[in-house]
Amino acid sequence: MDFVVSDEVQHKQDGQRMIVTGLLAGMVECRWYDGFSVKREAFRADELIASDNQLAG
């Protein structure tokens, strides 16, 4: 699936909802708030799915 910056996505394994903040060489950079701080990590695109909110919009 192709993502764009500002898409809301979820990790397939743990369901964490995140916002796409960057794309580079097949990697998708995401940020999310874990209740304590803002986290940032890059994932392979095939590890992510569009969140339910993104599909409805």
Q: Does 17 map to a domain?
A: yes
Q: Does 3 map to a domain?
A: no
CB 10 within 8 A of CB 17: yes
Q: Does 30 map to a domain?
A: yes
> Which of 15, 12, 57 has its CA nearest to residue 32?
15
N-to-C CA span, the chain: 16
Tokens found for residue 15: 């369901």
- pLDDT value of position 14: 83
Q: Does 1 map to a domain?
A: no
What would the pLDDT profile of 5-56 be if each residue is shown by its tens digit? 999 999 998 888 999 999 998 899 999 999 999 999 999 999 999 987 655 4
- pLDDT value of position 38: 96
Q: Give the integer Cα–Cα distance in Å for 36 and 49.
A: 24
The number of distinct structural domains making up the chain is: 1
Structural domain boundaries enclosing 33 = 8-50
Q: Does 23 map to a domain?
A: yes
pTM of the shown model? 0.84
> Which of 3, 2, 8 has its CA nearest to residue 52?
8
